[in-house]
């Protein structure tokens, strides 16, 4: 609604909030939109996997649920972190986040089932999508070799999934906002009755879920104060 990136992602000619700011001639909202437009974010190419119950035992037995990679490991495997989520039915969900370098290498490759593909009505070239999935799968296999010496299925022919594993690609275009974030003072535009919250707001937890939750609480408090003053 506010960041110029949405014009490319969603195929919009104009930003809804920019139109509203122009109609209301609200300098406060214009200032906030300009600040939001200046915020840059690192992208990620994410591998989303579901391991079937018949193949999931080694994954469910891993001694961690979140694995973060130091710089040298990131450069070696092309991965930033891996999240493991055992499911109640015996399956296991796995999410592998690429590094910013890998995401930049595959800048225009997004998942065929992603919101981008749905909104734009265009599917990415299957060969390119399969290339990214295979690269992330092989990086994941190498990174976890110490715990999974016998991964769930041999490395597949290019473009085909591992046996017992369903893989998809997710392009996370605004994965990690970069400092500086949106100042708290610009998070509420009283005249236009527009408020902002999210991980891009400056403060504790910036760039993480914690920051998004804290910014929502902070905005709620300011809204309550504004209502009480108006009353």
pLDDT digits (tens, 9 = 90+) for 197-216: 999 999 999 999 999 999 99
Element (H, E) at 94: strand 92-98
**What's the average model confidence in pLDDT over 172-195?**
91
Q: In this structure, how many other beta carbons lie within 10 angstroms of the beta carbon of residue 129?
A: 22
**What's the average model confidence in pLDDT over 54-68?**
94
**What's the average model confidence in pLDDT over 120-146?**
82
Classified as helix, coil or strand, 59 is helix
Residue 116 has pLDDT above 50, yes or no: yes
Max mean pLDDT among 20-29, 78-87, 153-162 falls in 78-87
Are 169 and 132 spatial neighbours (Cβ–Cβ below 8 Å)?
A: yes
Quick one: what percent of the chain has pLDDT higher than 90? 57
Residue 157 has pLDDT above 80, yes or no: no
Q: How confident is the model at residue 229 (pLDDT cuts 50, 70, 90)?
A: confident
Q: What is the C-alpha separation between 147 and 126, in angstroms, rounded?
A: 31
Q: What is the C-alpha separation between 173 and 182, in angstroms, rounded?
A: 18
In DSSP terms, 194 is beta-bridged to 189
**What's the average model confidence in pLDDT over 8-24?**
76
**What's the average model confidence in pLDDT over 150-173?**
67
Q: What secondary structure does DSSP assign to 18-36, as a single string?
A: HHHHHHHT-HHHHHHHHHH
**What's the average model confidence in pLDDT over 175-195?**
92
Are 44 and 98 spatial neighbours (Cβ–Cβ below 8 Å)?
A: yes
Return the residue matching tokens 């809804």: 16
- pTM, entire model: 0.74
Q: What is the C-alpha separation between 33 and 27, in angstroms, rounded?
A: 10
């Amino acid at each position: 609604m506010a960041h110029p990136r949405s014009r490319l992602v969603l195929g919009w000619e104009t930003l809804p909030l920019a139109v509203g700011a122009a109609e209301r001639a609200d300098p406060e909202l214009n200032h906030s939109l300009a600040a939001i437009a200046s915020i840059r974010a690192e992208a990620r190419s994410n591998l989303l996997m579901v391991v079937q119950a018949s193949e999931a035992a080694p994954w469910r037995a891993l001694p961690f649920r979140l694995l973060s990679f130091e710089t040298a490991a990131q450069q070696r495997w092309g991965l930033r972190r891996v999240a493991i989520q055992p499911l109640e039915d015996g399956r296991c969900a796995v999410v592998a986040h690429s590094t910013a370098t890998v995401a930049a290498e595959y800048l225009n490759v997004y998942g065929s089932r992603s919101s981008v593909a749905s909104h734009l009505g265009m599917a990415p070239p299957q060969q390119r999508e399969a290339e990214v999935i295979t690269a992330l799968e092989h990086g994941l296999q190498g990174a976890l070799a110490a715990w999974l010496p016998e991964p769930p299925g041999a490395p597949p022919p290019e473009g085909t999934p591992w046996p017992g594993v369903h893989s998809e690609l997710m392009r996370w275009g605004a994965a990690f906002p970069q400092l500086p974030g949106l100042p708290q003072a610009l998070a509420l535009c009283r005249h236009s009755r527009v408020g902002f919250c999210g991980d891009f707001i400056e403060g504790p937890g910036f760039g993480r879920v914690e920051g998004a939750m804290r910014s929502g609480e902070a905005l709620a408090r300011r809204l309550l104060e504004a209502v009480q003053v108006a009353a």
